[in-house]
Amino acid sequence: MRRENVNKLIHLFLLALFLSYYGSITFFSHYHVVNGVTIVHSHFFCGHADTDGKADHTHSPKELTLIAYLTTFITLISAALLILISFSITQRHYHIRNQADEPDKHIFTLSQLRAPPILA
């Protein structure tokens, strides 16, 4: 019973995490133009963005650097996970197919075959 409660809590936590992330990227997406470079990101903030999506707040250079690093990190982790998952699925698929396509050589060898018994 305790394990079921832990699983329910994990499911609720993951659902809340996903919904907060989805809400953040849906309702708080905005951009900043810094030195001619457009930086698009989303986070909870007090204030509003204009109709184009430009925010009325600013970030320090360190915050913009952190946003760039986090974006790069998340992109690399997502790509690595996608490659690992596809490799795992491909390997599992071909491993099962190879086992199914090849008969077991120990069962079907001629040395193990024998004639039927003779009734006298």
pLDDT of 95 > 70? The answer is: no
Global pTM reads 0.47
Domain boundaries along the sequence of the chain: 27-57, 60-105
Over residues 41-67, mean pLDDT: 76
For the record, the structure tokens of 53 come out as 């999506």
Confidence of residue 83 (pLDDT cuts 50, 70, 90): very high
Contacts of 106 (CB under 8 A, 6+ apart): 112
Contacts of 34 (CB under 8 A, 6+ apart): 64
The pLDDT, as a whole number, for residue 15 is 92
CA dist., res. 89 & res. 77, Å (int)? 18
Over residues 103-120, mean pLDDT: 64
